Structure 1
């Protein structure tokens, strides 16, 4: 059985190497191959592969989409702020009634702690009523060239530009009221400052929790970049393209750098709860995690043990 899994992994890795080589060339294919074999960035080769991949992607995107970058060099920031009644956007393609229990509980936790923010669930049935997405992108979703995960990247920037508000992934568990000070910013995100020695975002932003004022130029830049990218390509150059695009903005635009740098460090324990879900519940441990964190990133794909005494059961995730 173990040998079968290894063979399957090797076949998938090889096929992905071939696909990337055909569309983007041998250099990126090699970096991706290293990433596939050594995905854990705690090891030197995994960290190197991650870093080299995104350095390559940014150089290439900078060259190929220079016209998009040039359009935003001298943008003037408006005085709009996120506001305390702006919508919270959560995307689940199939609809909330068809979501896993963990996702349903996470969304309920957002509603319980949203204060005056209306919570909007975006699905396949209503997204076209909210924003205009080019037909060529819709066609590529239909033909499985764009995954729902990466469609959500396009969707979040389109929604944030059009309406403003807070984008939250469907697997975020909120355990305290969303801080009111977020409403005073034009841009806000989870800024945990972790993994700064290799990760593309260096802990400065988190695509799974990102808030912007209406008609924010950073949202428009990211949206327009995605539109142009998918007009040209039929496959994704890297999984974290959204972070590469934000990084290009951070590097090239003083106004974007200021928006991101002005966000204070927050939610340092955002990833810490997930590893404890199968552990015996301890109120003191949760209190300690919540001292500087109100939202925790989880995954509905992880195996959760059904046991009445665990964190997952106490928090209503199973």
Structure 2
């Protein structure tokens, strides 16, 4: 029942209750597919966001394009890792703490900054109207962190990783060789939601592409006090992609599937041979702490053994 109530609440908040109700009523009647209905709902939300922000974005681009330069690179490449856990890493679940330890091990020559609800304003400027909506619960922690990540990267550059990012080796060159990097989602960018937001690298602060994403997010929350869709950040990112194709196409295509292989093993019996296979594929892994109880033989209880440095 709680899941049903949650869907109703989200539909009310996003002002899509009538359409969502009609769509999902078709499923038990055999006239609808849950996956396709979900895609249709997402497409409608994307179209709504693009339409509402379109005039602002057009005017914005006409002025922003007069600014010279892609990035602010006078200070050299940023070597700051941004991680957010609003309550502080010391109060995070075990999986998150182990992910953080892996960052400290493999990114020891980087400055790792933990963003919390107490210190975020020491590093980044967020408009008062957004902070107010966050504190009132209109903007969730999840979506406030979406705003934080892009704002931090615009102001400082560096690497944003979600707190459930686990490292088993150094950062790949295909990340560091680019001014901007994200992992991809979807098939060769044919899908509307075609990027992953848990890992974003910007070599320098002032990246023009990310600045547009940030400013469109700011404008959305300036106008509205509801979340149109959970993937608002990704939708705005896609809108910016379509206006900046050359910048987007410079980012090498690496799909996020490899990064989620280790997550799929977390509740399986620990198998070192399988883990070594995954480590050879990628050193960057996206995990989750939202797992049901699992016996001591499960991989999730052996994360510290995966990195040979932790033995």
Task: Identify the TM-score tier after normalising by the shorter chain.
Answer: 0.7 to 0.9
Q: How does 1:181-196 map to 2 (within 5 A)?
A: 181-191=174-184, 193-194=185-186
Q: Which residue of 2 aligns with 1:314?
A: 302
Distance in 1 between residues matched to 2:25 and 2:62, nearest whole Å: 34
Among 51, 54, 61, the residue aligned to 1:62: 54
Residue of structure 1 equivalent to 2:193: 201
Q: Are 1:301 and 2:294 matched, yes or no? A: no
1:175 is the counterpart of 2:163: no
TM-score, normalised relative to structure 1: 0.82
Report the equivalent of 1:150. 143
Alpha carbons of structure 1 residues 254 and 85: separation in structure 2 relative to 1, 3 Å: closer
Counterpart CA distance in 2 for 1:138 and 1:102 is: 29
Question: Residue 62 of structure 1 aligns to a residue in which SS?
Answer: helix
Q: Which residue of 2 aligns with 1:94?
A: 87
CA separation of 1:214 and 1:226: change in aligned 2, threshold 3 A = same
Give, in angstroms, the shift of residue 221 of structure 1.
1.2
Alignment partner, residue 273 of structure 2: 284
- 1:81–1:184: 8 Å Cα contact kept in structure 2? no
Partner of 1:46: 38
Q: Residues 164-216 of structure 1: CA distance to partner in whole angstroms, max 9, x if unpaired? A: 0000000111111112453331101223x5456874333xx311100112111
Distance 1:228 1:106, change over 3 A: same
Native 8 Å contact 1:13 1:33 kept in 2: no
Cα gap change, 1:238/1:36 in structure 2, threshold over 3 Å: closer, same or farther?
A: farther
SS across alignment from 1:270: helix
Structure 1 residue aligned with 2:254, among 254, 261, 265? 265
CA shift at 1:50, angstroms? 3.3
- How far apart, in 2, do the equivalents of 1:250 and 1:57 lie? 15
2:216 is matched with 225
Secondary structure of the residue aligned to 2:261 is coil
Q: Does 1:120 align with 2:113?
A: yes
- 1:238 paired to 2:229: yes
Q: Is the 8 A contact 2:53 2:216 kept in 1?
A: no
Work out whether residues 161 and 215 of structure 1, in 8 Å CA contact, stay in contact via their aligned partners in 2.
Answer: yes
Task: Extract unaligned runs of 5+ from structure 1.
Answer: none
Relative to structure 1, the CA distance from residue 130 to residue 15 in structure 2 (aligned partners, 3 Å threshold; closer, same or farther) is closer
Distance 2:217 2:61 in 1: 12
* d(CA) in 1 for partners of 2:219, 2:232: 13
* Distance (whole Å) between structure 2 residues aligned to residue 197 and residue 31 of structure 1: 26
Structure 2, gaps ≥5 residues long = 28-32, 306-311
User: Closer, same or farther in 2 for the Cα pair 1:10/1:281, shift >3 Å?
Assistant: closer
172-181 vs 149-158, which moves further? 172-181
| Alpha-carbon separation, structure 2, partners of 1:167 and 1:82 | 19
Q: What's the TM-score, normalizing by structure 2?
A: 0.83
